[in-house]
Structure 1
């Protein structure tokens, strides 16, 4: 019965799953060495490496980051154990007794209203559940465990502060990648930080990341330049034309206005929509339509995409901060960690 309840409650909480560790890329062999022959004609190591180089680069980056995360998690485990052991020794009890006394014993039993509310939420999520009386003890235990975990975390953080715990392991810094800062930009050209953003107007994660980009620029006035480059994903059939539309508007000095309007479009990016947005942002409609219909900006979008592939981009959004990759819609703190390190290295913090 417990498994049934916990399965039903899965809709209420997300669990992080560790990705399978990537393997480091093998060293390159002689580029002219054959790896296969077709009709007597060789396929060389160099040709193969060229085909998979962006994927290999991404795997190498993932491998290095996962190595760091394993070390960071291991360090946190060691700190946690020593903190609790030290506190327990000072109290003359075991660590388990310490946790039971200062955390577990202080967690009240959940009220009936709490239990029923969680049960109803699970049912509203489409779960088939037994009558509440049959599963009430399991739900109450689940709620109590959740509260205990939160209290234990807060207790641990307080102990670390009381004991002046210092983490001296440097923050993870992604390796630097050569990425041309070519494309529409905002911020000073001589800014010490250049962020090259590869993005897709049809990508919901890219939409989510845009406010963070604005927060980054606000947090570092005059120190950050953002360069936008197009990376429409194959699964997003409307994204290439949307990218062209932004460049067509850019010809009339309306690139960033169109950029923001496209990200606010909630996926409505059909050609007629694009033409309407151009007029909304103040572009000359006839000029815009001719540009968009001619496809003259398609090579520009394709060039951006090629640059992203060469840098190892496989998904969006992808941000290269002075060449260091941050992948996905990351929080402001993730950007700050890299930016602060770069500013410190440049003596401009």
Structure 2
């Protein structure tokens, strides 16, 4: 009987600790849905919604973007895309480049955010681990501020630089990562269509495969 009571006590104790941990680990609900809507195409009632989880310095994310953009242009308003930045921990500059996207989205608009994302993809090698290995964190941030303002306009230099001192942009980037984790995202790119994850996580999807996925949905 004593052993049974001890076992029950242990179970209750671990149940209490587990719930305490889960309660503290929960993320505060953000004021708006995470991510950047492509061309501000907020979803209509019959929209096909694609969610893409991209890391700005991930080669597979870079390769996934051109065919996806081609699909978006083909289907037009029938598709709404939202990109969630997902900073992979083994890419040293993933968090700071993802944060830059949040800063531009807040300062300018979503169109500029996608322009910056495409520029990161185009010049990705400049922000890989090895080329920046001997740079300080502040030097990397300064380089990214200069890089970003060349895309959106030099008049935004001070505002972009100040954005990296804004705790809200830091929090927004963290929320993006935690949101991805809550959806089971573990790498990039990963795509969801109408809430359902597509197979082949971590690899680009070519244009013809996208067509084979979307065409039947459009016909319905």
Secondary structure of 1:316's counterpart equals: coil
Counterpart Cα distance in 2 of 1:266 and 1:235: 15
1:76-116 Cα distance to aligned partner (Å, 9 max, x none): xxxxxxxxxxxxxxxxxxxxxxxxxxxxxxxxxxxxxxxxx
Cα distance in 1 for partners of 2:181, 2:104 equals 25
Partner of 1:317: 189
SS at match of 2:77: coil
Deviations 1:2-42 (A, max 9, x none): xxxxxxxxxxxxxxxxxxxxxxxxxxxxxxxx9x959x831
Matching residue of 2:130: none
SS state at 2:168 partner: coil
Partner in structure 1 of residue 72 of structure 2: 217
Q: Distance in 2 between matches of 1:193 and 1:277?
A: 34
* 1:43 to partner: Cα distance: 4.5
Is the 8 Å Cα contact of residues 164 and 170 (structure 2) preserved in structure 1?
no
- TM-score norm. by structure 1 comes to 0.47
Native 8 Å contact 1:240 1:298 kept in 2: no
Deviation per residue, 1:267-310 (Å, 9 max, x gap): 32331321112221134101110012334311111111122111
- Indicate yes or no: 2:38 matched with 1:186: yes
Aligned equivalent of 1:282: 152
| TM-score normalised per structure 2 | 0.71
Rg larger in 1 or in 2? 1
Alignment of 1:267 with 2:125, yes or no, is yes
Contact 1:317 1:329 in 2 (8 A): yes
Consecutive unaligned residues in structure 1, runs of 5 or more: 1-33, 51-179
The runs of 5 or more residues in structure 2 that have no matched partner are 1-6, 23-31, 128-139
1: CA distance between counterparts of 2:149 and 2:172? Answer: 22
CA RMSD of aligned residues (A): 2.8
Counterpart Cα distance in 1 of 2:85 and 2:211 = 24
Q: CA deviation at 1:262?
A: 1.4
- Other structure's SS at 2:124 match: coil
Q: Distance in 2 between matches of 1:221 and 1:204?
A: 26
Is structure 2 residue 170 aligned with structure 1 residue 298? yes
1:336–1:181 distance in 2 versus 1, CA, 3 Å: farther
